[in-house]
């Protein structure tokens, strides 16, 4: 397994190109199952999760050419409507082939994703929504077996809580259902809006994406599409925090600041300068950091996917801050690893109190999930002495395109030490 080795203490200067959004590219790739012909995706990030989704689409019978930032998906006729455990366990977002397969071919067999490091991650909302559209669902030996003997029919679906991939799965199913569907209590994430843009390009009629209520007029047939994926707000946010932590002055090219307002407000409160310069976002920090309290929430609230990274920043602030994680039940696994680097963080259930202002020192640390990995790399950037080896970086590679290279390009002392690859469970 690869290790990323970081020597701290370097301020960061230069330009970081922000890639396409992983969590937009994944549902859009699944949407290619809704039509025949060749679809073209542009600005796709070079990530393990993209390769995993390509492998899944190939397993289903589609032709997929990954030449990032371009991905071509083509193929006609009914695919093999099965997503096997071996692929789904690598990436829970594989569940998003369920809606398209049932809507288009009337049947699908998709492995239950199971839990992961950050939580049990149930998919009950996905299944309830498909039943509301007329599918029959049964669980058999770890697999979801969904059937729709006749075409799905539009209906009203109320989510018990906002779920990003649940909203996306049902949008894709409803796009080919007969008649109108109304999805209520939807996730507002920008990635949901991106999928709606693509479904409308394909010939569906989707209105209200980005709000609580999404109205969808199902089409009898959908067409392939050509679409450039929106920039990744979480990648951009991660580099914003990295510069805030290490100090310096960096431009983030194509960073979607409009999707990062809450993070920007919190960073400014901590003493970080955030400003827009053309299509770039400029991040500067050269004075002491102030403690800031944060509670994660569905979009447009503070993103849970930025919680671990922001916690590292608070370890450097002069004082105590409170971080509350409300989305997942176990998303503080970076805390013990940060503790091994000298951080003082008290966890009580969903609340962490970060006692900042203590110097961090380099250590061997273990990545446990995608965003925790990123937080450990950021911690390595700011150690007062020693070097940090972040192990199990396959977690990092799922969601960040060679983070060590992008950091080295702006002055960080980071390098990747190759090891033998092992693919483990997933959490995204
Ligand atoms: C998406 O996961 C993202 N992944 C996650 O990003 C992100 O952390 C999460 O949304 C929250 O923003 C992708 O978009 C591929 P949810 P998702 O369904 O859709 C509960 C990353 O780092 N829930 O919005 O799986 C669930 O347990 C990854 O890129 C149910 O109870 O998350 C959680 O507590 C990690 N039943 C809450 O809802 C359901 O049927 C929100 O989960 C579905 C979800």
pLDDT tens by residue, 278-316: 989 999 999 999 999 999 999 999 999 999 999 999 999
pLDDT of residue 1: 83
pLDDT in tens, 231-290: 999 999 999 999 999 999 999 999 999 999 999 999 999 999 999 999 899 999 999 999
- Domains along the sequence of the chain with CATH: 3-19+231-427 (3.65.10.10), 22-228 (3.65.10.10)
Cα(163) to ligand 1 centroid in Å equals 6
Task: Note the pLDDT tens digit of each residue in 304-356.
Answer: 999 999 999 999 999 999 999 999 998 999 999 999 999 999 999 999 999 99
The residue annotated as part of the active site, out of 30, 116, 186, 315, is: 116
Cα of 92 vs centre of ligand 1, distance in Å, is: 10
Mean pLDDT taken over the chain: 95
Distance 376 CA to ligand 1 centre (A): 22
Task: Look at ligand 1, atom 41, and give the residue with the nearest C-alpha.
Answer: 163
Q: Is the CB of 370 under 6 A from ligand 1?
A: yes
CA–CA gap between residue 272 and residue 269 (Å, rounded): 7
Q: What's the pLDDT band for 425 if we cut at 50, 70, 90? A: very low
Residue whose CA is at the smallest distance from ligand 1 atom 1 = 164
Instruction: Provide the pLDDT confidence category of residue 120 given band limits of 50, 70 and 90.
Output: confident
Closest CA to 202 of 70, 35, 21, 27: 35
Residue in 54, 82, 80, 76 with CA at minimum distance from that of residue 67: 54
pLDDT tier, 426 (very low <50, low <70, confident <90, very high otherwise): very low
- Compute the C-alpha angle 415/420/422, nearest 5°: 110
pLDDT band at 77; cut points 50, 70, 90: confident
- Tell me the C-alpha distance between 49 and 229, whole Å: 15
| Atom number of ligand 1 nearest to Cα 26 | 15
pLDDT confidence of residue 130: 98
94 Cβ inside 6 Å of ligand 1: no
Measured in angstroms, how far is the CA atom of residue 304 from the centroid of ligand 1? 9
116 is catalytic: yes
pTM score of the predicted model: 0.96
Atom of ligand 1 at shortest range from CA of 123? 40
Span 165-216, pLDDT tens digits: 999 999 999 999 999 999 999 999 999 999 999 999 999 999 999 999 999 9
Cβ of 164 below 6 Å from ligand 1: yes
Nearest-angstrom CA–CA distance, 239 and 32: 31
CA 423 to chain centre: 18
User: Is the model's pLDDT at 389 over the cut of 80?
Assistant: yes
Question: In which band, very low, low, confident or very high, does the pLDDT at 117 lie, cut at 50, 70 and 90?
Answer: confident
With a 6 A CB cut-off, is 371 part of the ligand 1 pocket? yes
Q: Which atom of ligand 1 is nearest to the CA of 303?
A: 12
Estimate to the nearest angstrom the gap between the alpha carbon of 26 and the chain centroid.
Answer: 9
Size of the chain, expressed as the number of residues it contains: 428
- Using CB atoms within 10 Å of the CB of residue 129, give its burial: 0 to 12 exposed, 13 to 18 middle, 19+ buried: buried
CA–centroid distance, 160 to ligand 1, in Å, is 13
Give the distance (Å) from ligand 1 centre to CA of residue 204.
25
Q: Does any ligand 1 atom lie closer than 6 A to the CB of residue 399? A: yes
Task: Please work out whether the CB of residue 238 comes within 6 Å of at least one atom of ligand 1.
Answer: no
Residue 420: per-residue pLDDT? 65
């Amino acid at each position: 397994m690869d290790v990323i080795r970081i020597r701290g203490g370097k301020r960061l200067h230069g330009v970081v190109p922000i890639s396409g959004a992983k969590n937009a590219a994944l549902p859009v790739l699944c949407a290619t199952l809704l039509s025949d012909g060749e679809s073209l995706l542009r600005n796709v990030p070079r990530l393990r999760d993209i390769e995993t989704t390509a492998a899944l689409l190939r397993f289903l019978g589609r032709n997929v050419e990954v030449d990032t930032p371009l991905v071509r998906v083509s193929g006609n006729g009914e695919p093999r409507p099965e997503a096997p455990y071996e692929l789904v366990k690598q990436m829970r977002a594989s569940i998003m082939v369920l809606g398209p397969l049932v809507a288009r071919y009337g049947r699908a067999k998709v492995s239950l994703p199971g839990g992961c490091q950050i939580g049990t991650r149930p998919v009950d909302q996905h299944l309830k929504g498909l039943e509301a559209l007329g599918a029959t669902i049964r669980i058999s030996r770890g697999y979801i077996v969904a059937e729709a003997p006749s075409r799905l029919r539009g209906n009203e679906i109320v989510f018990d809580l906002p779920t990003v991939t649940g909203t996306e799965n049902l949008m894709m199913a409803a796009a080919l259902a007969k008649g109108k569907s109304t999805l209520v209590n939807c996730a507002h994430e920008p990635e949901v809006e991106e999928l709606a843009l693509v479904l409308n390009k394909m010939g569906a009629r989707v209105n209200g994406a980005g709000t609580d209520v999404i109205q969808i007029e199902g089409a009898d047939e959908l067409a392939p599409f050509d679409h450039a994926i929106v920039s990744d707000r979480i990648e951009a946010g991660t580099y914003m925090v990295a510069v805030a932590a290490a100090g310096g002055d960096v431009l983030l090219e194509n960073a979607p600041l409009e999707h990062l307002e809450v993070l920007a407000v919190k960073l400014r409160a901590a003493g970080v300068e955030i400003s827009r310069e053309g299509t770039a976002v400029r991040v500067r920090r050269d004075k002491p950091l102030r403690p800031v309290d944060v509670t994660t929430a569905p979009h447009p609230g503070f993103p849970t996917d930025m919680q671990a990274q922001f916690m590292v920043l608070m370890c450097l602030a002069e004082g105590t801050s409170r971080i509350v994680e409300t989305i997942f039940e176990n998303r503080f696994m970076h805390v013990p690893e940060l503790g091994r680097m000298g951080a003082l963080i008290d966890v009580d259930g969903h609340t962490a109190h970060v006692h900042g202002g203590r110097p961090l020192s380099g250590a061997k640390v273990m990545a446990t999930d995608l965003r925790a990995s990123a937080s450990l790399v950021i911690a390595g950037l700011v150690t007062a002495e020693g070097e940090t080896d972040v192990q199990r970086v396959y977690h990092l590679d799922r969601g960040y395109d060679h983070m060590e290279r992008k950091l080295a390009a702006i002055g960080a002392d980071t390098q990747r030490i190759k090891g033998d690859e092992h693919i483990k469970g997933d959490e995204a």
